[in-house]
Structure 1
Amino acid sequence: MYSPERPPYLRYLALLGFLVLATVGGGIIHPIVALAPVLGVAVVWVILKVPVRYPVFVVTYLTLAVDYVAERPQSGLWESPLYPLGELLFAQLSYITKIGALRFPLIDVLIVGLMGLAMYRKVVGSKIDPPTPPMPRPLIAVTALSLIALLFMEVRGVVRGGDFKQSLWQWHQAAMMPFIVAMYHYALRGPQDWPIIAKIVIAAGITKALVGSYFALVIIPALGIFVEYTTSHSDSMTFIFCMLVVFIRFIEQPKAAHIIRGLAVIAIIVTGMIFNDRRLAYVSLVGCLLAAFLINPWTPLKRFLVRTLPFIAPFLIVYIAVGWNRPTGIFGPVDTIKSLIEGQGGEGNLDYRDIENLDLIATWAQFPLLGTGYGHEFLLPVPLPDIAFVFPQYRFHPHDSLLGLFAFGGMLGYTGVWLYLVVTVYLAVRAYHRSPVSEDRACALIIVGITAAYINQVFGDMGIISYICTFHISVCVAMAGKLAVLSGAWPMPNSTLLSLSPSAPVPPPGAISFPNPEGAAAASGTHKAS
């Protein structure tokens, strides 16, 4: 007997009914779990149909824009509308689902899942994603070396009797860096995706700045209390990234559109930086611009600045001298400079960070070559104020993560973990001097600046255990590799050249073609800066 085919809309109604019931059931467990069914359907759709770079863009924005719950956003006094998403991304899934075995955050699942999906598509020759340029092999090697060094420090620490549970959170985010780099490598087509990344970071920075401004202007006055910061410590890197995009794009290609858009971005981002009140943000921004200034060739703007500096310097010296003992009002910036020199303990006194640094150096002196390994607390030869009542694990997580690497990993561990930064800067600078495209040159300078900002953040605000900082440096590592190969700063592997066109002659550096129209345009300098 003939049975008419069921109308397609019945299947959609059945799916919708299932999602509604599953959402209601999930909401009984936890409000965030209510999103799981919708997310599940979205995941299936992404796996089957969507180029992997689009979900990577979404994850990048969410990581940088939502509340980073690990750092007590808004000083722990107010939960913004983005707090639930931040909890979903960064809190351990065992806390959300009540399943004890899930002692890792959702962001780890997304990183590994997107990386795995991209690699799988590449292996099976899927046409959903376009071809991507290769990474320089030395960069791949030192990125992998970073993970190997961290694992060595973990094994050494545990063998020496370290606390295994504490040790895992000393290096977790740093260990995710190679996976995030791989995710970006397989997802991004090349320099033509850099303008999209820049816009995503600016959108995230504006989001954070607006949240911080609302908290400072509306919530804090209602509470009537003093707060140390508005959003989180790691947001300094996002703000710096936004400022660098504005300044470097104008330096590389001065035009009215960059000025107009740049001033609008600066107005919002600077407001967020002021309310967030992190000294390190200003220091990093100045350092980034100085690095760009030194790398930049002798343009008319650079000559003008060099010739003008001798005339401005005396006025700056007088300004600092006058405001040194009265750092208020128009002399407010002098207070930041003074606190960086004298510390917050006042003249002649050691503040908390100074004492902590001395203790880290003393810990490193025990095992200068190999360090103590993870899972151990740093020593206290100089007594520190006890902050265990707010941060019980404070001796496992020093504010100065750079000295922490020396203390826990010694010279070998420190070098192994951070060698990738040296190679990243090397490749970015070589690409800068070889690229004919202004947007690519701006990208190279921003990579150098963000690397410097990351080092500062690790040095001053525990940046090595921050997902926000790790995402910033990871996308810069991946993009530095792509820029280097496509600009001719690093040779294209022979296997890749043969796969592109076996019968064609090897193209000269700077004129490398790639089996992707947009990638070819990027490499030849025909794509426009946005």
Structure 2
Amino acid sequence: MHDARENPSMLPRAILILLGAALFLDIPASRAYNEHSAWTAQLGKLLFHGIHEIYGLPLSFTLFEVISYALAGLITIRWGVQRSRFWLILALSACLVPLACALGTLTGVLRGNTLALAFSQLHFVPMIPVWMIIGYYLGMQPALLQKAARILFWVCIWRSVYALYVFLIVYDGRMGAREYLIDHASSSFLALALAYAGFQAFTQRGNHGKLLAYAGAFGLMLWPYILNDRRTSFVGLMAALVLVPFILPRGMRLRLRSTFRWALLAAVFLISYKVVYSKAPANLGATSSGSSVIGVENLDYRQIENYNLMIGVIERPLLGLGFGTRFPQAVPLPDISFSFELFDAIPHNTLLYLWTFAGPFGIAGLMTASCFMMLVITRVGQLARTKRELLLAFLGLVGVTQWGMYVSFDMGLLESRSSMLVGVFAGGLFPVYGRILLEQSYAKYQESLRPGPAAVQSEQPFGLSPSLQWQRPQTGAARTHI
């Protein structure tokens, strides 16, 4: 009989195919590869453009959204009635931001705001709970999460090869005044793939062939990642490296202190250099003080935008402006409606966006959901007993820090593929954590039935090198499913 974890059935196969297609294709509106017309963007219209626009059906959704909703609906119908504590915690944390946005929409409509504009502002926010549910389903069989990570890795290898072709052949090896090489969101994909390749290379030091293969893949992806020049992603990756020791098992953390110090020092230097000398015009969260408004000509677009958002917070500090309206223009923004019609309704900084339109409830919902995810990631990493569990915790950490920076300094809440990745690699860890706790409880029960002290021995799980071993009780506990 085949193992379902290695031979996914129809539903998980459909999820993995959608994940791969969403990462492989480009969203035309993101202007992937600048002036170069990529065939991946042309095909991407079928998945990411409105169904009404492409297929003529009266639906204001994309095919990606419809399929995502359908998959999450099937999962909820099949498993949504379970009483698992971690399912309920995930459902609560996943719905916090959409609930805050629903409250902001209600208060806005009661004030006379436009419901159609509110729909445009919040179009992709439901993708957060949708993909958290899908991620939870994949995490019920951790092998599926590992397959998702492999898909991400191989798609990013392809994206890197194509990006380097565009850079070397189409751009003649010069970026010129171009702001990015691929598009904004691709840096988040590449950061996760770099984390996967780096982890695999580090844990395959005894196998020189695999070590060289993963190291080569890391170098291949690093080049377009740097050329894509997204400072939010650089800062997110540095944040993940700083937080890595907190998610490692204690024994591994002690053994890797020296290695981590040198790696962190090198990473901080390189990423800081890129952030300082980046050509990207985005100003990372900088807001204007009242005195600086005097010299408006010295402010960049993001500073003016952030200042105007804070004026909106001051105007409506308790419930926010409510969705369905545009934020105030205390300092007029340059009119870019020719390329982005809702430039004065959907700002770049979606952290301030939530605060301005949904009030303190929006910020509280986002921060609470993020804390739940980070808590689960940390516990999975600290209690990890296998290479797979530690890999998934590491990918979850990188995914959440990338998403957090993208939400804080760009349109992270409104980018469906970013919600997809954080849903898969953070939401998927909730059942993994539940599985670990169940197995620990079972192991303690088994140990309590044995006479004498518990036998403790060193283990080398999933091919980890001896320097990465850690301690855990030797038990005969069978794996159980959440």
* TM-score normalised by the chain length of structure 2: 0.79
Residue of structure 2 in register with 1:328 after alignment:
none
Residue of structure 2 in register with 1:378 after alignment:
327
CA distance in 1 between partners of 2:421 and 2:256 (Å):
29
Residue number among 423, 430, 441 corresponding to 1:481 in the alignment: 430
Mapping of residues 305-344 of structure 1, within 5 Å = 305-306=260-261, 334-336=276-278
Task: Classify 1:220/1:51 alpha carbon distance in 2 versus 1 (closer, same or farther; 3 Å).
Answer: same
For structure 1, the residue ranges without an aligned partner over 5 or more in a row are 1-48, 125-130, 325-330, 493-504, 512-523
Residue of structure 2 in register with 1:263 after alignment:
215
CA distance in 2 between partners of 1:247 and 1:510 (Å):
37
Task: Classify 1:105/1:510 alpha carbon distance in 2 versus 1 (closer, same or farther; 3 Å).
Answer: farther
Asked if structure 2 preserves the Cα contact closer than 8 Å seen for 1:132 and 1:189, the reply is no
SS at match of 1:390: coil
Q: Which of structures 1 and 2 has the bigger CA Rg?
A: 1
Residue number among 154, 163, 176 corresponding to 2:105 in the alignment: 154
Asked if structure 2 preserves the Cα contact closer than 8 Å seen for 1:74 and 1:230, the reply is yes
Task: Classify 1:464/1:334 alpha carbon distance in 2 versus 1 (closer, same or farther; 3 Å).
Answer: closer
CA distance in 2 between partners of 1:210 and 1:411 (Å):
44
CA distance in 2 between partners of 1:132 and 1:259 (Å):
43
Matched pairs, number: 433
Deviations 1:47-83 (A, max 9, x none): xx943111110100111120122312222x2332222
CA distance in 2 between partners of 1:218 and 1:299 (Å):
47
Letter in 2 for 1:374: F
**Which gives a bigger RCO, structure 1 or 2 (Cα 8 Å, sep 6+)?**
2
Residue number among 263, 288, 291 corresponding to 2:240 in the alignment: 288
Root-mean-square deviation (CA), in Å? 3.8
Residue of structure 2 in register with 1:463 after alignment:
412
Deviation at 1:462, TM superposition (A): 0.6
Asked if structure 1 preserves the Cα contact closer than 8 Å seen for 2:383 and 2:436, the reply is yes
Letter in 1 for 2:151: I
SS at match of 2:10: coil
The answer to whether 1:115 aligns with 2:72 is yes
Task: Classify 1:509/1:207 alpha carbon distance in 2 versus 1 (closer, same or farther; 3 Å).
Answer: farther
Asked if structure 1 preserves the Cα contact closer than 8 Å seen for 2:400 and 2:422, the reply is yes
CA distance in 2 between partners of 1:270 and 1:168 (Å):
38
Deviations 1:96-153 (A, max 9, x none): 1223x221110112112223334455699xxxxxx99883432222223333222112
The answer to whether 1:439 aligns with 2:388 is yes
Asked if structure 1 preserves the Cα contact closer than 8 Å seen for 2:247 and 2:393, the reply is no
The answer to whether 1:243 aligns with 2:202 is no
Mapping of residues 27-176 of structure 1, within 5 Å = 50-75=9-34, 77-99=35-57, 101-120=58-77, 135-176=86-127
Residue of structure 2 in register with 1:194 after alignment:
145
CA distance in 2 between partners of 1:164 and 1:89 (Å):
26
Deviation at 1:334, TM superposition (A): 4.9
Letter in 2 for 1:303: S
SS at match of 1:424: helix
Letter in 1 for 2:45: E
Deviations 1:348-380 (A, max 9, x none): 943221221111111112222221111121112
CA distance in 2 between partners of 1:209 and 1:160 (Å):
48
Task: Classify 1:393/1:189 alpha carbon distance in 2 versus 1 (closer, same or farther; 3 Å).
Answer: same
For structure 2, the residue ranges without an aligned partner over 5 or more in a row are 1-7, 447-458, 465-482
Asked if structure 2 preserves the Cα contact closer than 8 Å seen for 1:235 and 1:468, the reply is no
Residue of structure 2 in register with 1:498 after alignment:
none
Task: Classify 1:78/1:166 alpha carbon distance in 2 versus 1 (closer, same or farther; 3 Å).
Answer: farther
Asked if structure 2 preserves the Cα contact closer than 8 Å seen for 1:353 and 1:399, the reply is yes
Task: Classify 1:338/1:218 alpha carbon distance in 2 versus 1 (closer, same or farther; 3 Å).
Answer: closer
CA distance in 1 between partners of 2:59 and 2:285 (Å):
45
Asked if structure 2 preserves the Cα contact closer than 8 Å seen for 1:487 and 1:509, the reply is no
* TM-score normalised by the chain length of structure 1: 0.72
CA distance in 1 between partners of 2:195 and 2:184 (Å):
18
Letter in 2 for 1:98: G
Residue identity (%): 22
CA distance in 2 between partners of 1:192 and 1:309 (Å):
29
Deviation at 1:244, TM superposition (A): 1.4
Deviation at 1:264, TM superposition (A): 2.1
Residue of structure 2 in register with 1:177 after alignment:
128
Deviations 1:470-515 (A, max 9, x none): 1111112322202210111xx69xxxxxxxxxxxx9724799xxxx
CA distance in 1 between partners of 2:139 and 2:361 (Å):
32
Deviations 1:205-260 (A, max 9, x none): 22322232222222334999742223211111101111111234455665445532
CA distance in 1 between partners of 2:308 and 2:445 (Å):
50
Task: Classify 1:467/1:309 alpha carbon distance in 2 versus 1 (closer, same or farther; 3 Å).
Answer: closer
